[in-house]
Structure 1
Amino acid sequence: MEHAFGPYMKQLREQQGFSINQLAEAAGISNSQISRIENGVRGVPKPATIRKIADALAVPYSDMMKQAGYMETGLEANPQEVPEWATYKDRRDFKKMLEDDDDLMFDGIPLDEEDKKRIKDVLTGLFWEAKQMNKRKKPGESDQRP
């Protein structure tokens, strides 16, 4: 889906009536970075950058994350849907993570139910992606980068 993210972002920007410079200023990132993303030179940005762009364009962060390929469509909508490769231990770990009843807070402020759902949706996608990546590692492969 990488190849589709740049044009998708450009379409959103144009629909909102932003120039590249206006979006860059509103998102707090460089105009050259916006241009490189839209033209496919830079590829898909990191989630933190996507958050800034989504906020500046007033579009749902989760929609942009799906388009960027960070979240699978449908998986976060139904957390009970589990990938075929998931083991019993994977499902147990995931259930424990979602059922933790501690209050979710940001900067000391409790999050409302909508924010909690959005966070759980993102965590769902990231959790299963990380689990799948770990299963693909070859025995003896190091987590450290040169």
Structure 2
Amino acid sequence: MSETEFGFYLKKARESKGISVNQLALESGISNAQISRIENGLRGIPKPETIRKLAEALQIPYEEMMGMAGHMPDDRKQDIPAWATSRDKRDFKKMLEEDGEIMFDGIPINDTDKQRIMDVLTGFFWEAKQMNKRKKPKDSDNTKE
């Protein structure tokens, strides 16, 4: 989904609830200027933490809004390895949510290229996690004689 499509979705969701931009700003903690830029397609797809705030303020399921934004679709959730612990999953979620817009030469990249990059990062993340689990802890019995 493009930022214009997501902005249209957000605006329709807000209007269907009978909420003004200013009311949504107060409820979500997101500035009215940022909400306006999102709705008008002048800002990229928001980060998951922003989407969570908007979803809660609009009383829309977070997963629905994330899906509309194109973040981590359901068919991607199966990419999480069976061995991943809840702590691993938390680390992965944090990595994804803390990333800002992906830029190249100061220009935001398109959604297709962004998804390719996220796919590669996902693979690297889980590979690194698995390799880290295989490492043996260093011998803590280093006693001096």
Category of TM-score, reference length = shorter chain: 0.5 to 0.7
Residues 6, 43 of structure 1: 8 Å contact kept: no
Structure 1 Cα separation of the partners of residues 11 and 71 of structure 2: 19
Structure 1 residues 69-96: Cα deviation after superposition (integer angstroms, max 9, x where no partner) = 11224444xx3xx5xxxxxxxxxx7111
Task: Tell me, yes or no, if structure 1 residue 36 matches structure 2 residue 37.
Answer: yes
| TM-score w.r.t. length of structure 2 | 0.58
| Structure whose CA Rg is larger | 2
Structure 1 Cα separation of the partners of residues 41 and 118 of structure 2: 28
| TM-score w.r.t. length of structure 1 | 0.57
Any stretches of 5+ residues in structure 1 without a counterpart?
Answer: 83-92, 105-118, 138-146
Paired position in structure 2 for 1:14: 15
Structure 1 residues 41-62: Cα deviation after superposition (integer angstroms, max 9, x where no partner) = 0121111111100000011111
Paired position in structure 1 for 2:62: 61
Q: Which residue, 94, 98, 102 being the options, matches 2:81?
A: 94
Amino acid in the other structure paired with 1:71: M
**% same residue:** 45
The CA RMSD over aligned residues, in Å, is 3.3
Any stretches of 5+ residues in structure 2 without a counterpart?
Answer: 97-114, 125-145
Q: Which residue, 119, 127, 130 being the options, matches 1:132?
A: 119
Aligned residues between the structures: 101
Structure 1 Cα separation of the partners of residues 35 and 26 of structure 2: 10
Structure 2 Cα separation of the partners of residues 135 and 56 of structure 1: 30
1:4 deviation in Å?
Answer: 1.2
C-alpha distance 130-61 of structure 1, shift in aligned 2 (>3 A): farther
Structure 1 residues 87-132: Cα deviation after superposition (integer angstroms, max 9, x where no partner) = xxxxxx71111xx3x6x8xxxxxxxxxxxxxx89x95xx6x97762
Residues 55, 61 of structure 1: 8 Å contact kept: yes
